[in-house]
Structure 1
Amino acid sequence: MWTHKAWQGRLLAHPLASHERLRHYAGWCDAVEGNTTFYATPTRDTVASWAQQTDPDFRFVLKLPKLITHERRLVDADGALRVFLDAIEPLGPRAHALWIQLPGSFGPADVAVLASFLRRLPSSHRYAVEVRHPAFFDEPRSAALLEEALAVTGAEWIPFDTTEFFRSPPTSEAEREAWTRKPRVPFRSRALTDRPIVRYLGRDDPARTIEGWQRWIDVAVEWLREGRSPTIFVHTPDNADAPVLARRLHDDVRARVPELEALPDPMPAGPLTLF
């Protein structure tokens, strides 16, 4: 997501041609969730434009199409997968990980299907799996079963931390909408690989969002000192200030790990008043 309406003319210059929007976003953050690929596989030309707008070390975490993960539930999806992999080939090293988000109904009984799917994937990419079935969080045996399947192919488990969001009732329209759609799963911070990926959902109140990510600072610092390279995505229900908040989180981690590389200098479109 790099064309959020609330950012235009405020965080990003406006108007911008479509082939410039990602370039401006990449001045704020060095990674992006490729959520649009869940709904449709982009053309190679579109993906080539993404590559042209970003440096080789920019990180795309691209979601596999729902046709593969939700409609076919990883079965009989090899053709659709080949089309997707061909489309994203122009990204080269920018394809940091391919994100396999599974529906909430995909539970422990389906782990064998996931394991089979992972074994068929080409080794040219890294993979990360997001699960939402409560058994993977509440039952140690189910969690171990999933971790074993992921370990065979070196895939990561993406935690989606919504604990701060669900700590108290919603106070805005965006929060009320998210309240009915976002998963309620326990906090998880165990990394399986050297490239852990975290999705964090705060509140529309920046102070609440910052309060809720304090433990992720400790986790990120530990991971970095262990030699891991984490990617953390910051969300709020309205996402209006997400890039600013992401930079604030990065700065908080960098204050404790000074050798962490600074984020790029943004091209602001107007004065910032969040902090």
Structure 2
Amino acid sequence: MRLHVGCAMWSLKSWQGRFIPASGTDRLRSYAGWCNAVEGNTTFYATPSLTTVTGWAGQTPPDFRFVLKLPREVTHGGALADVSAMSEFLRVIEPLGDRVHALWVQLPGSFGPGDLPSLSRFLRGLPDSFRYAVEVRDPAFFHEPRRLEDLLTTAGAEWVPFDTTEFFRTPPTSDAEREAWLKKPRMPLRTAALTDRPIIRYLGRDATDRTVDGWRRWVPIVAGWLREGRSPTFFVHTPDNADAPELCRRFHDEVRTLVPELEPLPTPPPMPSPAPEGPPTLF
């Protein structure tokens, strides 16, 4: 029984000295002391080098999990027809091994129900050595979900909902919230799981109490999945993400109150003390 929790990134300027070191190259290692999963958003923009991915594996324990977004050339290049970038992508992520929890097929808002045949062909052509999770942005899928559910069930793939309902419940109150208000999708709520590895992306607010209030519905749902033998992953976003690693651990703790047999997350390592400044010099 395992619940994975994580953020949209493993390094953020506001985390330095608090969750991750202010300098150095081991920030993923420190992040992995707080959370046991991460969204691999950077792979959407560029396929990393084999050396880089090998470094990711070296900085994370075997039970850490990556949900890696497929390259945009694949998912946003035109109805999933051009998959030439996939072979190189699959080659370089090989060092992660079982740390790859799922490959994340995030589709644009222009991808609608009429495009489902191309998604079916795409999923059938992927190697079965990985698990797959699909995120759609067209609200029509949520109003009539059966066709997509049947397609994903046949492929053994999960449907990844992005819960933005709490965020859009009231107008923004900060610069970060106003920016997110313009960029984030207003998605209908979906709480059903299709596989034994459900993945939830949740967007709260900059105010901690609002973020926690908004995820209350998810705590019993995730607890129920754990009792059913599923292994859920819950990603916490806020507009500024300043407290996201700490919020992930709080969500994990709240689920543990309903499922006491769930093992707690390890205690995060202490941050190294900053190097003392030397006496002033003329040079």
Query: Is it true that 1:37 corresponds to 2:28 in the alignment?
Result: no
Alignment match of 2:158 (pick from 156, 159, 166): 156
Distance 1:184 1:103 in 2: 13
Alignment match of 1:8 (pick from 6, 16, 21): 16
Alignment match of 1:258 (pick from 244, 257, 260): 260
Paired AA for residue 105 in structure 1? S
Question: Does the residue aligned with 1:187 lie in a helix, a strand or coil?
Answer: coil
Question: Does the residue aligned with 1:62 lie in a helix, a strand or coil?
Answer: strand
Distance 2:270 2:198 in 1: 30
Distance 1:114 1:29 in 2: 32
User: C-alpha displacement at 1:52, in angstroms?
Assistant: 0.6
8 Å contact 1:13–1:268 — kept in the other structure?
Answer: no
Alignment match of 2:90 (pick from 65, 77, 85): 85
Distance 2:185 2:269 in 1: 34
The residue that corresponds to 1:273 in the other structure is: none
Distance 1:42 1:264 in 2: 29
Distance 1:52 1:127 in 2: 24
8 Å contact 1:162–1:185 — kept in the other structure?
Answer: yes
The residue that corresponds to 1:165 in the other structure is: 167
Give the TM-score normalised by structure 2: 0.92
Paired AA for residue 154 in structure 1? G
Paired AA for residue 4 in structure 1? L
Alignment match of 1:102 (pick from 86, 95, 107): 107
**Where do 1:221-236 residues align within 5 Å?**
221-236=223-238
Larger deviation, residues 235-244 vs 256-265: 256-265
Query: Is it true that 1:133 corresponds to 2:130 in the alignment?
Result: no
User: C-alpha displacement at 1:259, in angstroms?
Assistant: 1.0
User: C-alpha displacement at 1:56, in angstroms?
Assistant: 1.2
User: C-alpha displacement at 1:269, in angstroms?
Assistant: 3.0
Paired AA for residue 131 in structure 2? R
Paired AA for residue 198 in structure 2? P
Paired AA for residue 17 in structure 2? G
How many percent of aligned residue pairs carry the same amino acid?
A: 66
For residues 100-154 of structure 1, what are the alpha-carbon distances to aligned partners after superposition, in whole Å with 9 as ceiling and x for unaligned? Answer: 000001000001100000000000000000001010112x2xx111111111110
Distance 2:205 2:154 in 1: 36
Query: Is it true that 1:62 corresponds to 2:68 in the alignment?
Result: yes
Distance 1:132 1:183 in 2: 7
Distance 1:181 1:122 in 2: 33
Question: Does the residue aligned with 2:76 lie in a helix, a strand or coil?
Answer: helix
Please list every run of 5 or more consecutive structure 2 residues that lacks an aligned counterpart in the other structure: 1-8, 273-283
Distance 1:269 1:236 in 2: 23
Paired AA for residue 10 in structure 1? R
Please list every run of 5 or more consecutive structure 1 residues that lacks an aligned counterpart in the other structure: 271-275
The residue that corresponds to 1:117 in the other structure is: 122
Paired AA for residue 48 in structure 1? T
Runs of 4+ in 1 over 6 A off after TM superposition: none
Query: Is it true that 1:76 corresponds to 2:82 in the alignment?
Result: yes
Give the TM-score normalised by structure 1: 0.94
Paired AA for residue 215 in structure 1? R
Question: Does the residue aligned with 1:71 lie in a helix, a strand or coil?
Answer: coil
Structure ranking higher in helix proportion: 1
Which has more radius of gyration?
2
Distance 1:236 1:150 in 2: 29
